[in-house]
Amino acid sequence: MLKAAMLSKWHVHAEGYARELQNSGKVEIKAVWDEDAARGAEWAGRIGADFEADLDTLLAREDIEAVFCCTPTTMHTEVLIKAAKAGKHIFTEKALAPTVAECMQIKEAVDAAGVTFAISYPQRGRGMVKFAKKMLDEGAFGRVTNVRMRDAHSGVSNHWLPAYWFEKKDAAGGAMMDLGCHPMYILAYLLGKPKRICGMFSAPFGTQVDENAVSVIEFENGAIGVAETGFVSYNSPQTLEIYGTEGTLIAHGEGDVKFTSKKLEGMVNGFITPALPKNNPAPIMQFVDACINGTGSPADLGMEDAIALTELLENSYIADEKNEIVKL
């Protein structure tokens, strides 16, 4: 049984994470800390955990082996460095930090402590992404030229996201810093090292963060990636499109995936609906198992993966603010 602490209920996934951990039968949530003491105390009472008002006191507890970080994004650097120095295994919401410089500070602390680290990249383990990566690695696309991923919802336009979600001082950004993480880390996963990036963000509903955002990235292999996101789209299916010189994949969620390739038998003309691999366990449970079994950071959820995402996010925001293409 992994003994753990929840660090903040700020993030909209925090409640679900705690429920998933408790339902797993593998984790005992011993304590809660929150930068908002009233919120944290109420939550701790509901989930049957201690509330610690002081983070250092919580991290000093010997009965806590791992922490689950759901603080405001701009607090990650301070909180995670403290957790690493206290010898706690770390699971964190994305993004790891708003800047690469901050990520490197966290990495240094995690490496020095030798703790297990994982970041929440749930889309990496989805069947359609696993299939796409396998076909890419096997050369079924030929030379990949374009990848587009879209992940958007109506959190602003239909008024269901909490108002504090749009506080830039806490969230570090808007749609791209939140939901846009998914397209960004998938592009990094599929296409490798970026070469240059531009971003175009807008806020048609007037919050202080981006509500509608697109980033375009050229990668070192010559492929162009497009990451689309927003809080202002009704019933927008998650979309992944991969185009190459010898193959194409078009997916609108797990239930509508079409693939064709000149390199595989039976796919010369038209598209097929491929059998998809089974989804991986949720990243949070991969982390729990890694901590219990002592196997280190789960594949594709580690520190280098976390830094690669922030590199794209940070420079996309710089590109939008400066109205220019940023060379990496």
54-83 confidence digits (pLDDT tens): 999 999 999 999 999 999 999 999 999 999
Predicted pLDDT at 240: 98
Q: What is the 3-state secondary structure (H, E, C) of 81-105?
A: HHHHHCCCEEEECCCCCCCHHHHHH
Alpha-carbon gap, residue 99 to 177, rounded angstroms: 11
pLDDT digits (tens, 9 = 90+) for 133-167: 999 999 999 999 999 999 999 999 999 999 999 99
Predicted pLDDT at 217: 98
pLDDT digits (tens, 9 = 90+) for 271-317: 999 999 999 999 999 999 999 999 999 999 999 999 999 999 999 99
Residue showing tokens 């587009």: 148
Report the CATH number of the 2-115 domain.
3.40.50.720
Domain range summary for the chain, segments of one domain joined by +? 2-115, 123-279+310-327
Alpha-carbon gap, residue 20 to 24, rounded angstroms: 6
DSSP H or E segment with residue 306: helix 303-322
pLDDT digits (tens, 9 = 90+) for 193-226: 999 999 999 999 999 999 999 999 999 999 999 9
CB 323 within 8 A of CB 191: no
Helices (H), 86-219: 100-113, 127-137, 168-171, 181-191
- The predicted model scores a pTM of 0.96
Predicted pLDDT at 264: 80
Predicted pLDDT at 254: 82
User: Is 2-115's fold the same as 123-279+310-327's?
Assistant: no
Predicted pLDDT at 149: 98
CATH match for 123-279+310-327 among 3.30.360.10, 3.90.550.10, 2.60.120.200, 3.40.1030.10: 3.30.360.10
Residues 6+ apart with CB under 8 A from 23: none
DSSP H or E segment with residue 259: strand 257-261
